[in-house]
Amino acid sequence: MSNNIKVVCRFRPQNALEIKEGGQPIINYDDNGQTVKVDSKEYPGTFTFDRVFPSDSKQKDVFDYSISTIVDDVINGYNGTVFAYGQTGSGKTFTMMGPSIDDEATKGIIPRIVDQIFASILASPSTMEYTVKVSYMEIYMEKIRDLLNPVNDNLPIHEEKNRGVYVKGLFEVYVSSISEIHEVMRRGGNSRMVAYTNMNAESSRSHSIFVVTISQKNLVDGSVKSGKLYLVDLAGSEKVGKTGASGQTLEEAKKINKSLSALGMVINALTDGK
């Protein structure tokens, strides 16, 4: 197992509105590919990551460095997680899914993971048997909603000794090809909660979690391995005053920021060894 936690920072290009308003980039990249300097009057500073991808970086480059080894680990029976965190409109969904899952150049991390999974299965010995199943959920207003069966909109979290933590009643789909997973992605993606804000015309109002479970059976000795890969597209962090949000959208923003704050505390506790 690679046993690595990687923190990767990716910058998007300026959008049309930013260019129209005369915005100027304030980011300077270090030649080492790991450090960025922010030339901002409000929040100046220098920050270091495992890797920094500038605004002209390609989807394939991000995937090859950040993700490909995780897929190998999951196929071999380990669990892995990839999540995208950032402000509304920063490019999280673009990075995770891409504008089109069918376009080789622009498809995101999740479609590329699917490609790698089935390429690995097809290249494996005939003595190995695999099953792949997927589920797709969102956390909206602190409730878990099944994106493949949206009427299930308040699913409970359970924990069992042999199974660990799981979402009870979450619909799982067995898949046997790339095209079948793509269809599941489209179904689930069409069910996600989005809304217009001043910062993004289609701001995701929920955290989405796409789960791929891969089971491997050795037909010679009967041994079985199973791994899960959690692919998380977090809702955008945002300063409520900048979004123009009101009513329901304002309440959504409060819940989003509360849950992201809780995630930050969990990560801090993990890094402190607690």
86 is in an annotated binding site: yes
CA 270 to centroid of chain Cα atoms: 19
CA dist 156 → 143, 168, 171 (Å): 9, 6, 13
57 is in an annotated binding site: no
* Cβ atoms of residues 202 and 163 within 8 Å: no
Strands 173-175 and 128-140: antiparallel
Among residues 133, 137, 156, 158, the alpha carbon closest in space to that of 228 is found at: 133
* Cβ atoms of residues 117 and 133 within 8 Å: no
91 is in an annotated binding site: yes
241 is in an annotated binding site: no
* Cβ atoms of residues 220 and 126 within 8 Å: no
87 is in an annotated binding site: yes
* Cβ atoms of residues 70 and 82 within 8 Å: yes
CA pair distance 44, 239, nearest whole angstrom: 18
Which residues sit opposite 81 in a β-bridge?
Answer: 230
CA dist 12 → 53, 183, 269 (Å): 9, 28, 30
108 is in an annotated binding site: no
92 is in an annotated binding site: yes
Hey, is 56 helix, strand or coil? coil
CA pair distance 89, 87, nearest whole angstrom: 6
- The annotation places the binding site at 86-93
- The annotation places the binding site for ATP at 86-93
